[in-house]
Structure 1
Amino acid sequence: MQAPEWTNQHPVNAVRWVPVELVRANDYNPNSVAKPEMDLLRRSIEADGYTQPIVVWECDGGYEVIDGFHRHLVGKEMGLSHLPVVVVNRESTDRNDRIASTIRHNRARGKHRISSMSDIVVELSRRNWNDEKIARELGMDADEVLRLKQISGLAELFESEDFSEAWEPGDNEA
């Protein structure tokens, strides 16, 4: 029985098992998982196997994790030879797109460390993404982007912003 044609556009329809050494973690994932949840993830994979593939981007002769960082980590720690992956966004190769995809996957499901999210907003700003694009691609509103920029404390991120001039004590004294 052949799958309907519309299923071919979804990565989950093309899970493949790839050698674990070809799958590498990204260096921008702001998610953190506490030890009890990591232990439970390990137990889940041991008891039930992989029930969700690791979402990856194909690049540099291997695969970079977009979603499933902790599933990837557990599989490596367990000494598995292969991991289940699905490849997304084959046509895009830009790091900005990979970062945005990771954040979309993570934010749809959980929480992030604030400092790591601030670092990501800083990186995307430095890579010429404006605030509107950052907000749209990462599922934020303008105020959240601004707050994350403020956390970084980098003046360069605000050089294009309009601010009122500072006042000195006594300026308004009659």
Structure 2
Amino acid sequence: MKSPVYNVRPVPLEKIRANSYNPNSVAPPEMKLLEKSIREDGYTMPIVCYYIPEEDMYEIVDGFHRWTVMKNCKDIREREGGMMPVVTIEKDISNRMASTIRHNRARGTHSIDLMVNIVAELVESGMSDEWISKNIGMDADELLRLKQISGLAALFKSREFSQAWAKQEDRVGDGV
């Protein structure tokens, strides 16, 4: 059996539906980042579906959030001509459920150490905090925490700090 990825086909958005068993959810910041990724890079991965011939419909096994982006973003939908890149798998419902869970869990998580290194490289190459936040989907607090973890003072070179430890002049007549 060849892998499904060798048979990507464009499918009209209206012929695709969500499944009823996907436990995965994406937080709003990551959903915005996914939308930005699709807007900037296009669809780089097809969604995985099961084709239901009697209904002429495709049910999503993996890719619900990529599908949601197209459904909710008129500009992306228009750019793509209302077509989603789809691969299909032929499995019974139990195995489709297992596939959904495997796809969700196989994505992994980001290593903090590697993220610290990436942020350090971006800062050292001259990227602003605003650029980093916008382009890799971090809020200001997360970016600050990664910089703090690094322990590199150079990562804070563009920050302004208060003079909290500056000596106050004695005020005359206030009993000090």
TM-score by length of 1: 0.55
Question: Shift in Å at residue 110 of structure 1?
Answer: 4.3
Query: What amino acid is aligned across from residue 84 of structure 1 in structure 2?
Result: P
Question: Shift in Å at residue 66 of structure 1?
Answer: 0.5
Q: What residue is the counterpart of 1:97 in the other structure?
A: 95
Question: Shift in Å at residue 49 of structure 1?
Answer: 0.3
Query: What amino acid is aligned across from residue 85 of structure 2 in structure 1?
Result: P
Matching residue within 38, 44, 48 for 1:45: 38
Matching residue within 43, 58, 77 for 2:72: 77
Q: What residue is the counterpart of 1:27 in the other structure?
A: 20
Runs of 5+ consecutive residues of structure 1 not aligned to the other structure? 1-7, 112-174
Query: What amino acid is aligned across from residue 50 of structure 2 in structure 1?
Result: W
Answer yes or no: is 1:106 the counterpart of 2:104. yes
Query: What amino acid is aligned across from residue 96 of structure 1 in structure 2?
Result: S
Question: Shift in Å at residue 52 of structure 1?
Answer: 0.7
Q: What residue is the counterpart of 1:134 in the other structure?
A: none
Question: Shift in Å at residue 16 of structure 1?
Answer: 0.8
Q: Give 3-state SS (helix, strand or coil) of 2:23's partner.
A: coil
Matching residue within 67, 71, 96 for 2:62: 67
TM-score by length of 2: 0.54
Runs of 5+ consecutive residues of structure 2 not aligned to the other structure? 110-176
Question: 1 CA distance for matches of 2:69 and 2:39?
Answer: 10
Q: Give 3-state SS (helix, strand or coil) of 2:45's partner.
A: coil
Q: Where does structure 1 differ by over 4 angstroms across 4 or more consecutive aligned residues?
A: none
- After superposition, the CA RMSD in angstroms is 1.5
